[in-house]
Structure 1
C-alpha cells in the first residue's frame, strides 16, 4: 500500500535527520515532508475507490440474488402448470408448488442474509484497517510534526534572543 510506504519514508527522514546537541530536536527538510504529505493525499482516493467498489459489488450481488429468486419463482410456476394436467396431479402439484415457493423464498432470504453478512464483514474489515491506519500513523505523525515545529520555533526564538543580548552587550561595550 503506497500510503504506508510514504509514512515509512517520513519516519525514516525523522530517524535519520540531523539533531541539535543537548536539545533532542531535529532538523528536517520541510519541502521534502510536505511533498510526501501531498503524495499521501493523492494516494488516499485509491482507498476511497476501493470502498466504492465494495458498495457497487454489494449492489451487484443483491441484483443477482433478486434475479435468481425470480428465476426460481418462474421455474416453480412453470413446473406447477405442467403438473396441472389431471385432478390428482393438480392437488399434488399445488402442494409441490407451494413447497417450492416456500423453499425458494427461504433460499432467497438466506442468500440475501448471507450477502449482507459478507458485505458487512468486508466493510467492517476495511473500516478496521482505516482506523488502524489512522491510529497508527496519522495521529502520531501529525503530533510529532507539530511538536517538532514547535520545538524548532522555540529554539529559533531562543537563538534570536541570545543574538539580541549579544548585540546589546556589544553595543554597550562599544559605547564605554
Structure 2
C-alpha cells in the first residue's frame, strides 16, 4: 500500500470534496483574491444572489460581512417544506482591516489547523460546510452549519470519514 496515498485519504473528509469549486469572493473582501489559488470575484450584486451563486458553483463564500451572510445562508439551506438538500460549501469571514486580513490569511492559506493533526484542506472544510471567522490576531473560530437531514441519513447520506464525522 502506498503510504503517501493512505495518509492523504486519512485526512480526506469524503471523495466529494473533489467537486469543490474554490472560493467566491464578495466585493468587500476582493483584496483577498490574491491569497487563494482557486478564487473568483462574485458576479451577483447582492448577498442572497451570492449565496445562490456559491451553491451553483460549489464555492466557499469569502466576505467581511458575516452577519448578513449567516442569515441568508440559513434561509437558503433551510427553507420551509424543502424536499431537497441545499447544503452550501461554507463561509469564510475575514477582518475588514487590510493588515489584519493579510496576517490572518497567511495562517489559513492552505487549510485549517484543527484536531492537532495535519491541516484540514479547504476542499474538506468546504464539504463539511464550515463557518470560519478569522480574527484580527490570525486565529480562526470554526463552527459547522447544520447539515441537511438528507445529507445526514446513515444509509443514503454523505459519508464523512473519521475523524471528521464526529467533529
Larger radius of gyration: 1
Same fold (TM over 0.5): no
Q: Structure 1 length as normaliser, TM-score?
A: 0.24
TM-score by length of 2: 0.24
Which structure shows the bigger proportion of residues in helix conformation? 1
